[in-house]
A and B are shown apart, each in its own frame.
Chain A
Amino acid sequence: MKNDVVVGQYYPTNSVIHRLDPRTKIMSTLLYIVFLFVAKNIWGYIAALFFLSLAVIVSKVPVGYVLRGLKGVVFIVCMTLVFNLIWTPGEALLTLGPIIITRQGVMASINMAFRLLLLITGTSMMSLCTATIALTDGIEALIKKVPFLGKVSHEISMMMSIALRFIPSLTEELDRIMKAQKSRGADFESKNLVKRIKSYVPLLVPLFVSAFQRANDLAMAMEARCYKGGEGRTRLRILKYQKIDFAAYIIVALAMGCIFATRYIPFKLI
């Protein structure tokens, strides 16, 4: 396929982590994120990094893939670093003209950088190890437990699944329309901002028309196949916790305990 658009970034292997129930993976990831913010000093991050690396090794996903998720956010991380570095008030360490770098600033940016990097690699690990369909199933099952959202859990997961389903179609469609309008002399690379925004009209109108057409077609096809919403609906796959899931929860709890414990290890960089 020439335009194999990848949504999510599932990397299939036969690892234990891949075989876990998606709910286990989602909950563990959430816990992991919480504990990244509980962690207070570098020991905490080192512990988190240690457990994350362990997960990567067990998952058999190549490290390169895991780190690829970072590429898109390097810029954001650097920006946060710079802001934290120069705008945190406190005890001055270094003065460069109007810019004062403080001890608190250095600490804050170190904290931020670790948190962000660990957070992004952690979540991308989850999506690497969980097929999109399992992910939406898992989210549906978890939302069901939330008091306010329980009633619409089916709708939410249906919406997610349809969105995922149609992103590649609409990307292809956009490419097609773009080529057609280019063939009619449309210029999408104008330097003039107003002109450039205007030039998107011939793309967006057909794209919306087509998206509505698709929505209409799909609604019709779903109805024809007896869809009446979530009520009375069964599933081909039913999520069921296995022994490995309980084991996983215990391991995750221990790991979180370790991260929590690092709060009490004294640390002073500067």
Chain B
Amino acid sequence: MSIEVKNLSHIYSKGTVFEHIALEDVSFEVGPHDFIGIIGHTGSGKSTLIQHINRLLVPTSGTIVVNNININEPNVPMKEIVKRVGIVFQYPEYQLFEETVYKDVSFGPKNLGYDEEKVDFLVKQSIEIMGLDYEEIKDKSPFELSGGQKRRVAIAGVIAMKPPILILDEPTSGLDPMGRREMLDMIKNMNKQLGMCIILVTHSMDDVAEYADKIMVFSSGRLMKYGPPAEVFADSKFLADISLDVPQSKAVLERLKEEGYEIDTSAYTTKEAAKEIIRVFGK
């Protein structure tokens, strides 16, 4: 297993009037090549959770094992953790700081102490993974790029450290519809072609439905459901209870079923749902 979280709880400002339970008894395992989608409302504990996976936060109780290392053991250096887990925060373009794209992307690998040749290789590779032209962009200032390019450079700066596990928090926010699709396709590619374990935090049901192999649903600091999309979306009443929507295509299938049609409601992507509706309503 790539990540093993056991009985993780996190309480902010414990013992004061501001005490707030952000995570409560969360346990799960993630495989080395999984594509996990995490959904839940603002304040459901998602972002607290991801910060635990590379020790930005320390659990109040519970253990986190990443690639067989218990990351909260006192003798584990931070470098060993960031080598294994990369985090792309929301609006990552706000962490750019160097004069050139090359220098900015090389910040991570240099911090890991790699030699120049290796840094060079990693920077080039990660800029290309992000669909940018290395030669054209490497000497530009990151601040003169377009919004979408900045975002890609910022993500390149994280994957340049070659983490086998990559966590992304809302990587598509603020992008235009095509930009969103391109970004998600790129992430899917990292998972399928490069074998990276992806954890995608998002508000979009349609995105997790289409891209994730497994979905975690968080609500009030608890992991409510964890399984393949079909399984998670099967219980639409439960999702409605914690005021999350099912993907729209699935909602249509369920409406048709309510109307009395003999229809299979298990599909959750547009394509699959269309197939099922045509099967029932076509001649």
Closest to B105 in A: A184
Interface-lining segment among A27-35, A63-71, A83-91, A174-182: A174-182
The reply to whether B82 and A183 contact each other, CB–CB distance below 8 Å, is yes
Interface of A is mostly: helix
- Are B22 and A183 interface neighbours, CB within 8 A? no
Quick one: closest B residue to A210, CB to CB?
A: B94
Contact with A along B78-113 (1 / 0, CB 8 A): 110011011101001011110000000001100110
Q: State whether the Cβ of B281 lies closer than 8 Å to any Cβ in chain A.
A: no
Identify which of residues 180-221 in chain A touch chain B, using a CB-to-CB cut-off of 8 Å.
180-187, 201-202, 205-206, 209-210
Q: How far is the CA of A180 from the CA of B143 in the complex (A)?
A: 18
Min C-beta distance of B146 to chain A, whole Å: 15
* A window 210-267: CB within 8 A of B: 210
From the candidates B82, B97, B143, name the one contacting A185 in the complex (CB within 8 A): B82
CB of B158 closer than 8 Å to a CB of A: yes
Count contacts on B: residues with CB < 8 A to the other chain: 29
B157 at the binding interface (Cβ < 8 Å): yes
- Please judge, given known A-B contacts A2-B13, A176-B89, A186-B111, whether A181 and B79 are in contact too, CB under 8 Å: no
Given contacts A185-B111, A187-B111, A206-B96, A180 and B79 within 8 Å (CB-CB): no
CB of B161 closer than 8 Å to a CB of A: yes
Among A2, A180, A210, which residue has its beta carbon within 8 angstroms of that of B22? A2
Interchain CB contact under 8 A, A202 and B107: yes
Which residue of A is nearest B92, CB measured?
A180
B97 and A206 contacting across the interface, CB-CB below 8 Å: yes
Interface size on A, residues (CB 8 A): 21
Q: B18 is contacted by which of A4, A187, A201 (Cβ under 8 Å)?
A: A4
Q: B18, B85, B89, B112: which contacts A180 (Cβ < 8 A)?
A: B89
Q: Is B20 an interface residue (CB 8 A)?
A: yes
Residue of B nearest to A179 (CB): B56
* Cβ of A170 to closest chain B Cβ, rounded Å: 12
Bound state CA distance, A4 and B17, in angstroms?
A: 12
**Among the listed B12, B18, B86, B94, which residue makes an inter-chain contact with A183, where contact means beta carbons less than 8 Å apart?**
B86
- CB proximity of B75 to chain A, nearest CB, Å: 16
Q: Give min CB distance, B17 to chain A, whole Å.
A: 10
Contacts of B219 in A (CB 8 A): none
Contact A202 B97 (CB under 8 A): yes
Which of A4, A173, A185 is within 8 Å of B108, CB to CB? A185
Q: How far is the CB of B53 from chain A (nearest CB, A)?
A: 10
Contact residues in A for B161 (Cβ distance below 8 Å): 184-185
Most chain B CB inside 10 Å of its own CB: which residue of A2, A184, A185, A202: A184
Contacts of A173 in B (CB 8 A): 94
Question: Within residues 1 to 47 of chain B, which ones have a CB less than 8 A from any CB in chain A?
Answer: 12-13, 18, 20, 22
Beta-carbon contact of B94 and A209 below 8 Å: yes
**Other-chain residue from A2, A182, A201, A205 in contact with B56 (beta carbon distance below 8 A):** A182
Contacts of B22 in A (CB 8 A): 2
Is residue B126 within 8 Å, beta carbon to beta carbon, of the partner chain? no
Bound-state Cα–Cα, A4 to B94, Å: 22
Once bound together, how far apart are the Cα atoms of A1 and B86, in whole Å? Answer: 27
Distance A182 CA – B51 CA, assembled complex (angstroms): 11
Q: Which residue of A lies closest to B113 (CB)?
A: A185
In the complex the two chains form, what is the Cα distance from A206 to B150 in whole Å?
Answer: 13
Chain A, residue nearest B107 (CB):
A184
Q: Is B54 an interface residue (CB 8 A)?
A: yes
Specify which chain A residues have a CB less than 8 angstroms from the CB of B96 in the assembled complex.
206, 209
| Pair A201/B111 contact, Cβ less than 8 Å | no
B158 proximity list for chain A (CB < 8 A): 183-184
Q: Report Cα–Cα, A176/B154, bound state, in Å.
A: 14
- Closest CB of chain A to B82's CB: distance in Å? 5
Chain A residues, CB < 8 A from B94: 173, 176-177, 180, 206, 209-210
Nearest-CB residue, chain B, relative to A183 = B87
Residue of A nearest to B157 (CB): A184
A-B contact pairs, 26 of them (CB 8 A): A2-B13, A2-B18, A2-B22, A176-B89, A177-B94, A179-B56, A179-B89, A180-B89, A180-B94, A180-B95, A182-B56, A183-B54, A183-B82, A183-B87, A184-B95, A184-B108, A184-B157, A185-B107, A185-B108, A185-B161, A186-B111, A187-B78, A187-B111, A206-B94, A206-B95, A210-B94
Task: Identify the B interface with A (CB < 8 A).
Answer: 12-13, 18, 20, 22, 51, 54, 56, 78-79, 82-83, 85-87, 89, 92, 94-97, 107-108, 111-112, 143, 157-158, 161
Q: Other than A179-B89, A202-B97, give 14 A-B pairs with Cβ distance below 8 A.
A: A2-B20, A176-B94, A180-B89, A180-B92, A180-B95, A181-B95, A182-B82, A184-B82, A184-B95, A184-B108, A184-B157, A185-B112, A186-B107, A202-B95
